[in-house]
Structure 1
Amino acid sequence: MAAYAVCVRDDQVLLARSPAPGGTREWVLPGGGMEHGEDPYDTVRREVEEETGYRITVTGLLGVDSRRHTFRGRFGRRPVDHHAVRLVYEGRVTGGELRHEVGGSTDFAAWQDLAAVPGLVRVSLVDIALRLWRERPADGRAAPPGT
């Protein structure tokens, strides 16, 4: 379980940059995994502050993204069946100052123009979350692309 925030202001979205396998860097939504016993509402606020320096107010739950993936086993181990459930919230920055995370899962945070997002190297959750933010589906699920 993880919780992420879509924070948009002045036609820009707040993103963080995360190292990826092979040394590339990908843009991600600020957010991340829940700690045992933690409420997802608290998770998203904590993670945004850790990764960007900003404090946010959660203004709504945009939806839920559920993904299942089987990772190949390494070194003769069996494959791993991974199921990710990601809650996507809308947030509004209410305090703090933009800064980069040190020693965490991201290394840079920035406001990116919404129009520039398609040209960024990014994880698929960025697109899913922005669709949820734009479309605000009643059932909280982003329609597959092209539908």
Structure 2
Amino acid sequence: MRNTFWSTNISLASNNTVAVLLDKGDFVLKDNVSGFITWESFNYPCDTFLADMMIGLNTKTGEKHFLSSWETDSDPSPGKFVLGLTPETPPQLFLWNSSKPYWRGGPWNGWTFIGIPNIGQGYVSGLHPHI
């Protein structure tokens, strides 16, 4: 019996595609011969943010990279809370509840979101909004 336990929305004609979980936590589909990555989970964040992930909006393609809550503790489908960056310059960090603004982190000044208090040293871990 064959059961699908994971799927993605890409179609790919290749006999060389392998699925790999990288040390940094990124799950990728790549060509085993060329090494070309055709899909990676870090481009589709859901409820967990790991180092090297990016959130934001690709202004060239319109593709959004936002974090989203689960519907319930046992249902991982997208819930009503979404965290992401706005497309304006400078970008702002927002948390939406069913598309209504719920929380605002303020504009990015190149070092920190100015609406988040007590972050005197900025994001020393390397957070870089990707717009």
State the TM-score, normalizing by the size of structure 1.
0.23
Structure 1 or 2: more helix by fraction: 1
TM-score of the superposed pair, with normalisation by structure 2: 0.25
By relative contact order (CA 8 Å, sep 6+), the higher-ranking structure is: 1
